[in-house]
Amino acid sequence: MNILVIGAGAREHALLRGLSQDPTAPRLHVAPGNAGMAELATLHDLSVTDAEATVALAREIAADLVVIGPEVPLVAGVSDALREAGFAVFGPSRAAAQLEGSKAFAKEVMASAGVATAAAERIAPGASSGEIEAALDRFGPTWVVKDDGLAGGKGVVVTPERAAARAHADSVLAAGNPVLLESFLDGPEVSLFCLVDGETVVPLLPAQDHKRAYDGDEGPNTGGMGAYTPLPWLPEGGVERIVTEVCEPVAREMVARGTPYSGLLYAGLAWGADGPAVVEFNARFGDPETQAVLSLLRTPLAGLLDAVARGTLAQHPPLEWEEGSAVTVVLAAEGYPDSPRKGDALRGIPGDDPQAYTLHAGTARGEGAGYVSAGGRVLSVVGKGEDLATARDRAYAAIGRIEMAGSFYRRDIGLAAVEGRIATP
């Protein structure tokens, strides 16, 4: 089985690692990939939004399955071009990927499906200052201001300061993008990945991401600084409730609209006093949650993703998971997320221990056999253990051995859960 993975981050490295352990021993290819993936897959130079080149590459390697990692090629319609060329693709169509590509569209779908979410108002480019101020009047005292398009997880400002909310709205509108104002959803956040094949929905383990750059949820929003799974504080039956109240209704609504969903639906939720409410949807595996979640999956990944791509998920056996917990911690470059420095040498990257290992994101080959930084999020370190505390200890022991000038990482990933400081209302 020839499998082509599209993307270049730690999420794609986690997918390749899972696929490489499949008993069918698939032949793996990745485009464009990064230097750390070369031991698992053949790398191919490719622009992930070039549909024609992606189809040509899939033909060249006789791909039996194409797995699209990032959101940008999905929203650009690369999956549609591959399907039209006869390839099995894991990833939604361009129309279905608008659940992530347009937050306003996602709100419309949720309203039709009866799914709980924050109240929202859209401001279009060209709105007057008075119109923006009037819209801000209708929200607060905590403002949630979002870029309505794709922003790599960094287009959101949550602030109690009206001036900061206005400044972010102005910057998004000045770039020609619509702004979405939302009411603030209280309660701990949950990331739930669901495999979706039409109206068939199969959940993976729930996780929690840490978006802010620094300890204690301080600093700017990032693409994600770490995550852990499962969630010891989630109410019993919590996953089933999210599936029943959120993911299945959305899947049915997409079918009813003539744009059935096929791929990974990521529901980002807040669990408040009335239960789960949607913060946002993503149309692909999330990064860094994927690194932790897939580390505990026992079910062979290749057959699972292939079943979704071919529309046979309903016939797939139930998923099997390892007992225990997993934590991933992101090593970031100096200046991340605004202006990450590149070219710094990496030293002390741990070997591939099954209980503590490293996944590459923003790396390139340096002198000799070494690596240098080539992006904002440079590495993800995964630790596993019989409980969350042990998984944390292993992840932090491993990342503590890595040296890179100016690098930083959060030291509190999963800590609040270990200390029992997270509870649902």
The pLDDT of 133-151, averaged and rounded, is: 87
296 backbone dihedrals φ, ψ, rounded to 5°: -105, 0
Q: How far is CA 122 from CA 103, 139, 361, in A?
A: 9, 12, 34
Whether the CB-CB separation of 59 and 45 falls below 8 Å is answered with: no
Whether pLDDT at 387 is above 80: yes
Whether pLDDT at 408 is above 70: yes
What percentage of residues in the chain have a pLDDT greater than 70?
99
143 backbone dihedrals φ, ψ, rounded to 5°: -95, 140
Which residue's structure tokens are 């702004």? Answer: 179
d(CA 301, CA 307) in angstroms, rounded, equals 10
pLDDT digits (tens, 9 = 90+) for 271-289: 999 999 999 999 999 999 9
- Find out whether the peptide bond into 337 is cis, omega within 30 degrees of 0: yes
d(CA 227, CA 268) in angstroms, rounded, equals 13
The pLDDT of 146-156, averaged and rounded, is: 71
pLDDT at 154: 56
d(CA 237, CA 150) in angstroms, rounded, equals 32
pLDDT digits (tens, 9 = 90+) for 343-384: 999 999 998 899 999 999 999 999 887 999 999 999 999 999
pLDDT digits (tens, 9 = 90+) for 179-212: 989 999 989 999 999 999 999 999 999 999 999 9
pLDDT at 50: 98
pTM strictly above 0.75:
yes
d(CA 85, CA 309) in angstroms, rounded, equals 14
Q: How far is CA 300 from CA 15, 39, 46, 195, 320, in A?
A: 11, 20, 27, 14, 9
pLDDT confidence of 151, banded at 50, 70, 90?
A: low
pLDDT confidence of 103, banded at 50, 70, 90?
A: confident
* Mean of pLDDT over the chain: 95
**Six-digit token string for 316:** 């797939």
Which residue's structure tokens are 């019989």? Answer: 386
Residue type, 356: A
d(CA 222, CA 242) in angstroms, rounded, equals 25
Which residue's structure tokens are 């505390």? Answer: 389
Whether the CB-CB separation of 361 and 374 falls below 8 Å is answered with: no
pLDDT digits (tens, 9 = 90+) for 237-247: 999 999 999 99
pLDDT at 120: 87
The pLDDT of 124-148, averaged and rounded, is: 92
Residue type, 371: Y
Whether pLDDT at 153 is above 60: no
pLDDT at 148: 79
d(CA 178, CA 105) in angstroms, rounded, equals 12
Which residue's structure tokens are 């990939």? Answer: 33
Residue type, 396: Y
